[in-house]
Amino acid sequence: MPVAQLYSLNGAGAATALFPGDALCLPAGASVVTTVATVAPVVTAAKPAAPAVTHHHTPVPVTTAYTSKPSS
């Protein structure tokens, strides 16, 4: 069957999207052949683990004593 005829019978056009399970009108006497496509699984990389929850504390000033020696 020409694609143009299939479009005409279904009020569709080349831009019409078809999805699995959609029903199409066929002319009287048309034979139906059903095929199932095999789809390869999509392999994705594992997501990295979420970082551990850390508690944010307010920084506390640190006082350090320094000893200086006169240079010789």
Query: Which tokens hold the place of 22?
Result: 């959609």
The pLDDT value given to residue 70: 61
Q: Give yes or no for a contact between 26 and 8, defined as CB atoms under 8 angstroms apart.
A: no
The pLDDT value given to residue 52: 67
The pLDDT value given to residue 55: 61
Q: Give yes or no for a contact between 6 and 24, defined as CB atoms under 8 angstroms apart.
A: yes
Residue by residue, pLDDT tens for the chain (72 residues) are 788 888 898 898 889 888 888 888 888 888 887 777 787 887 777 777 776 666 666 655 656 555 555 655
The pLDDT value given to residue 22: 87
The pLDDT value given to residue 35: 77
State the DSSP H helix or E strand holding residue 3, giving kind and residue range, or none if neither: helix 3-10
CA pair distance 53, 39, nearest whole angstrom? 40
Torsion sign across C-alpha atoms 50, 55, 60, 62:
negative
Amino acid identity at 30: A
